[in-house]
Structure 1
């Protein structure tokens, strides 16, 4: 026994380890600006590197899983944000002709940075060999959500599996999806319900939607609602395409041109505005790439091409360019028919840009009284609201104070998500 006046030695607890699935970000290399889900995975990557806990990265590529330690994760982050160029393709990457050049170089770099690789059926053994007990695995990008993969991850002794669900739109609105997406998404959500220790939800609405399915399928994982934060890139008008006339009233809508985003409504509205000979028709900038199952909208857009058109498509804009475009807009228009979260209205609100949205539950939950709410597919309501905002913009009387101080932050998000992991 220790004598009087002596202190019993204590062992400091081991720092917690975190494993972050980074497959989503790698899948997007060379494919243009990040989407909303990409930004979430990037926010987790940045946060984990800023903390003291051990961090590992897991990436699935065509024929293998790749495991990175903190040094590898940090090196990957430097490449993803453009501070370091991707290296040369290796012999394995050169065989993958379907991949773009940047993606081949990225996969080659991952192998050079890795502490271990394995075939798909060896994931469990690799994680058991290299991860400390008590590791928490985070999957926030909707990648690798199969029973085969999640069962192997859960085989790691003492591992806790946290998965983010962004929405259940494929099951709630199958008519707005590509047919193959619905079945694939259901299998993924069932696997989450079966294997997740905890589900992270971006909103109370997403939680209610997902738990309705989990309840029907017989297992309810623990859940936490943590609203997502907003990162604001610095606006840079020099990155905008040459020749844009931003001297007249204009509006912006952003998002992949797919049925759910409801671009057809805005095309209808602009027909109404063009018929109002008493007022100059404002310009609508549609920022986003063409998606799927939307041929009628594509035909209408093709017919509108021309220097004198008041509807302009802009794809591949950088984040600084989009920020510059937004700052001068009369409003952001977001007539989406369904959203689990939806970053564009939040990003516009933080910049004090007026926002018009469909009256969806998610915006009442997060933005409250900041946006102008219009009824879904109410062409008259949207037309009159946009006309009013255009006139205010021309007269310089538009309201730019939107109460954006109440928008959730990433700090708020991680305070909730990480306080118990």
Structure 2
């Protein structure tokens, strides 16, 4: 694993062995660019593959569970690409059905297999006493799997909590997600030896909910690492016009990300500004869920493809290239657990305008320009000003504003593995 995208991370810990659950990563093979939790789970895979301590991987498939070793983990990493890109690099990019074929390749390399109801016996036979199971992606965060881990003599469980948005903001989630997440939190409260939090804000929110269940597990706050992406302008789609100031929004198009505000802002620009003066907006993310009104506007607004562009599934290098030339990165989210894209934008020296969320204050201090997410006029004013200046805040200015050190994966794992 390369801490902050460069140097390998060296780690030591007390567990006899570790089991990293990679079900989420396997389920996403071939689906395009990673976002959010996928990127975090991939960082854990790379980190654990780079160390020398005993490592197992657990993946649930439609046929049952696979227990994998380090060699199989390298196969999965290759399938996902060196930097977590999808589609994959190497020979995997030629596969028509990469998920099925990668699963088949892993099955052949499995240390052990089990049906869904015999997982505990398999783990007890195949891994040493004192093994620690680590759940980052929550794919198997349930009674069945956690009880099976407890069948390992001295087995331990660590769970990462990314946010409590499904409980705090159920209106932003898909049907059934809130209750499903509530059950995951209950299972975590019952079984986890350690809960890993990505921010102090997430820890406060989660421990408040754990208190409702009567048990607050031991916890540790470890900020996620930031990797500055390498830019490649040649990968920017040629149809994107870069001849005037532009802004970017990186993230899935879902309700809590508040894309509607930006569409309102650009609607005002279209009505009040000369066409040649209107900055452009590149929405870099795929469509999510429960956002039909925004999807309809993206499909029907007359200025789509002229001043606002929806650009899903760009590779990281293209996103980095667009960020490098942007007048600013816009993030009017209503809620975040950590919020990687704004922090990655700051790490790349890009001006950031974002909602005034506690987690951004915690990580970024006074670097961004904070704006109330319901104040359209304020956002219009800020965007106009940044467009006029094009690069209103350059990298030397960012450093001059007494920013906290941005987190790295090396620091994350050094802190985490003191506890595991």
* TM-score, length-scaled by structure 2: 0.90
Shift of 1:244: 1.4
CA distance in 2, matches of 1:88, 1:385: 46
Pair 1:171 & 2:167 matched: yes
In the TM superposition, 1:9-28 aligns within 5 A as: 16-28=16-28
Q: Which moved more, 1:302-311 or 1:327-336?
A: 302-311
In the TM superposition, 1:20-419 aligns within 5 A as: 20-81=20-81, 82-86=88-92, 101-277=97-273, 280-304=277-301, 309-393=306-390, 398-401=393-396, 402-403=398-399, 406-419=405-418
SS at match of 1:58: strand
CA distance in 2, matches of 1:254, 1:87: 25
Conservation of the 8 A alpha-carbon contact between 1:88 and 1:105: no
Cα pair distance change 1:84/1:158, threshold 3 Å: farther
In angstroms, what is the RMSD of aligned CA positions?
A: 2.0
Conservation of the 8 A alpha-carbon contact between 2:329 and 2:351: yes
Conservation of the 8 A alpha-carbon contact between 2:15 and 2:132: no
Shift of 1:107: 1.0
Shift of 1:370: 0.9
Other-structure match for 1:420: 419
CA distance in 2, matches of 1:15, 1:299: 51
Shift of 1:305: 5.8
Shift of 1:390: 0.5
Conservation of the 8 A alpha-carbon contact between 1:87 and 1:108: no
Q: Give a deviation string over 1:218-277, Cα, whole Å, max 9, x none.
A: 111100000000122311111121221112100000211111110000011112222333
Shift of 1:145: 0.8
CA distance in 1, matches of 2:174, 2:392: 43
Shift of 1:135: 1.2
Conservation of the 8 A alpha-carbon contact between 1:29 and 1:103: yes
Conservation of the 8 A alpha-carbon contact between 2:58 and 2:68: yes
Shift of 1:141: 1.0
Is there any run of 5+ residues in structure 1 with no aligned partner, and where?
Answer: 1-12, 90-99
CA distance in 2, matches of 1:398, 1:314: 25
Cα pair distance change 1:334/1:201, threshold 3 Å: same
Q: Give a deviation string over 1:307-333, Cα, whole Å, max 9, x none.
A: 762110001111111111111001110
Is there any run of 5+ residues in structure 2 with no aligned partner, and where?
Answer: 1-12, 82-87
Shift of 1:15: 7.6
CA distance in 2, matches of 1:330, 1:376: 19
Q: Which has the larger radius of gyration?
A: 1
Shift of 1:398: 4.4
Cα pair distance change 1:409/1:187, threshold 3 Å: same
SS at match of 1:344: helix
Report the count of equivalent residues. Answer: 397
Where relative contact order (Cα < 8 A, 6+ residues apart) is larger, the structure is 2
